[in-house]
Amino acid sequence: MSYESTWTQRFKRALTRRGISTILGCFIATVGMIATFLDIKGQGFIDIKSPFISGQVSSGHIGVILLFLGVFLTTVTLCVPGAAKHKIEVTKRKIGTHPIF
């Protein structure tokens, strides 16, 4: 087994949906900070319509929206529990089958 194949296997194991979305959220937040510091203006709005609430979110700075989106994506990704990697099996023992110590 060569060094390249072990590196590739480690990379594939580490590259999960959770890892990708965390990296993407950090990247979006970084772009938002850069856009905010460079004072890039951009008018934008998001329409929110659901049975419970409806409204519109608007901003004059695109960096603020990107920063919010990146932080929200990273927070949700890290707060949602991942899938269990190990399965725990519970077995019932009959009375009287325990070993005597």
Q: What are phi and psi of 58, to 5 degrees?
A: -135, 155
Confirm if 41 and 62 have CB atoms less than 8 A apart: yes
20-72: pLDDT as tens digits: 888 999 999 999 899 889 888 877 666 778 787 787 777 777 888 888 888 88
The model's pTM: 0.57
* Lookup result for tokens 């009375």: 95
End-to-end CA distance of the chain: 47
Q: From residue 50, how far is each of 9, 61, 83 by CA, in Å? A: 44, 25, 29
Tokens of 51: 């049975």
